[in-house]
């Protein structure tokens, strides 16, 4: 799981319609006198539902978090195993109300007898097809690469499960929180904006086009990887990190494989001879930040943005 993820105008909007982007998920009645509705997913496939789905399976942590705010737990038969991981999940407590846990395993999914399976676009095409072949409704969504795309997915899923008003409320709350953040950081001069690099267990990544890059824009900081010309998932060589000289290095608080002690990793980075000239090292701004906020692909991403603001600009602390 690593987490993780973009727009134009007329041409791209038309393409989005073709692929199931713009207005792809707007629920439409099946026909006069018929119950149920249809939606179109990101891949352009029509998903027919006889009514509000009551046995939903979520196959990504992002949808775990969104769905638990959209529907009653009784309508969810399974979430991902990551929903219980305190290092990455924002819904550990509420997830306890959902009995099942699932991985991308065909037999396990079929055994749950779902009436709807929600999957991300990065999941295997073969698995998506096999679930459909088993006669189960499958909705595939586009993994968000921006805050706006997260809001779009929330609205789409709300329409999909028949809870559009709740989806609108969730997005409205996000907008209020983001407006509050913008108000706090709007007067920071460009030459006073701090440079932040997210330094993972494999090195510096998350450049232009990544969700973290968009978070930085909202938080009023500069993404050092993007500043050095790095793209999404492109690892930045140490010499480029030194050239950028970040004010803050954000370190992971969670290891997907569960094999790395993050505190030991912090010591390694702190004592790396190549990094001793960095402002982040000199000023003790080598910070372990909770991955459940920095990597959130749901409404909880606003917490991560607030945390970055609080770290970079304590005087603009967003409560």
Domain 10-162 matches domain 186-316 at the CATH topology level: yes
What average pLDDT does the structure give for the chain? 88
pLDDT of residue 26: 52
Least confident of 10-14, 33-37, 213-217, 258-262: 10-14
pLDDT of residue 143: 95
pLDDT of residue 182: 96
Report how far residue 32's alpha carbon sits from residue 242's, in angstroms, rounded to the nearest whole number.
Answer: 65
In angstroms, the Cα distances linking 221 to 74, 167, 189, 240 are 41, 29, 11, 18
pLDDT of residue 317: 61
Report how far residue 141's alpha carbon sits from residue 157's, in angstroms, rounded to the nearest whole number.
Answer: 9
Q: Does the pLDDT value for residue 180 go beyond 90?
A: yes
**Residue 2: pLDDT band by 50, 70, 90 thresholds?**
very low
Residues in CB range of 85: below 8 A, 6 or more apart: 92, 254
Q: Does the pLDDT value for residue 253 go beyond 60?
A: yes
**Residue 202: pLDDT band by 50, 70, 90 thresholds?**
confident
Model pTM? 0.87
The residue ranges of every structural domain in the chain are 10-162, 186-316
The CATH homologous superfamily to which domain 186-316 belongs is Nitrogenase molybdenum iron protein domain (3.40.50.1980)
In angstroms, the Cα distances linking 316 to 181, 250, 310, 311, 312 are 9, 19, 7, 10, 9
Q: Does the pLDDT value for residue 132 go beyond 50?
A: yes
Q: Does the pLDDT value for residue 152 go beyond 90?
A: yes
Look at 28 and 149; give whichever has higher pLDDT. Answer: 149
The CATH T-level fold of domain 10-162 is Rossmann fold (3.40.50)
Residues in CB range of 42: below 8 A, 6 or more apart: 19, 20, 21, 24, 121, 140, 141, 142
Write out pLDDT tens, residues 91-102.
999 999 999 999
**Residue 63: pLDDT band by 50, 70, 90 thresholds?**
very high
Least confident of 54-63, 202-211, 250-259, 297-306: 250-259
DSSP string across 200-257:
ETTEE---BTSHHHHHHHHHT-EEHHHHTT-BTTPPBPHHHHHHH--SEEEEES--TT
Report how far residue 96's alpha carbon sits from residue 129's, in angstroms, rounded to the nearest whole number.
Answer: 30
Longest CA–CA separation in the chain, Å:
73
Report how far residue 194's alpha carbon sits from residue 133's, in angstroms, rounded to the nearest whole number.
Answer: 51
Least confident of 130-139, 228-237, 270-279, 296-305: 228-237
Contact 95, 102 (CB under 8 A): no
């Amino acid at each position: 799981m690593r987490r993780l993820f973009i727009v134009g105008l007329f041409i791209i909007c038309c393409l989005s319609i073709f692929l199931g982007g713009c207005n792809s998920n707007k629920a439409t009645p099946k026909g006069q006198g018929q119950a149920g509705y249809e939606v179109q997913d990101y891949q352009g496939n029509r998903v027919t539902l006889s009514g509000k789905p009551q046995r939903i399976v979520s196959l990504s942590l992002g949808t775990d978090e969104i769905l638990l705010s959209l529907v009653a737990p009784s309508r969810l038969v399974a979430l991902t195993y990551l929903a219980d991981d305190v290092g990455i999940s924002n819904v550990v407590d509420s997830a306890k109300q959902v009995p099942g846990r699932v991985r991308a395993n065909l037999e396990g999914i079929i055994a749950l007898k779902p009436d709807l399976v929600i999957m991300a676009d990065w999941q295997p095409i073969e698995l998506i097809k096999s679930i459909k072949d088993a006669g189960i409704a499958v909705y595939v969504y586009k993994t968000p690469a921006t805050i706006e795309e997260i809001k779009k997915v929330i609205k789409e899923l709300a329409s999909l499960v028949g809870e559009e008003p709740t989806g609108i409320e969730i997005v409205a709350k996000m907008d209020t929180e983001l407006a509050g953040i913008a108000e706090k950081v709007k007067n920071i001069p460009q030459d006073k904006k701090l440079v932040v690099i997210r330094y993972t267990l494999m090195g510096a990544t998350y450049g232009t086009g990544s969700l973290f890059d968009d978070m930085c824009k909202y938080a009023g900081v500069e993404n050092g990887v993007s500043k050095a010309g790095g793209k999404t998932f492109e690892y930045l060589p140490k010499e480029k990190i030194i050239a950028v000289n970040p004010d803050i290095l954000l370190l992971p608080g969670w290891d997907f494989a569960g094999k790395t002690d993050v505190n030991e990793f912090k010591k390694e980075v702190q004592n790396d001879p190549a990094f001793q000239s960095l402002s982040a090292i000199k000023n003790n701004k080598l910070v372990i930040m909770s991955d459940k906020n920095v990597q959130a692909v749901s409404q909880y991403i606003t917490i991560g943005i607030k945390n970055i603001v609080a770290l970079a600009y304590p005087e603009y602390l967003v409560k």
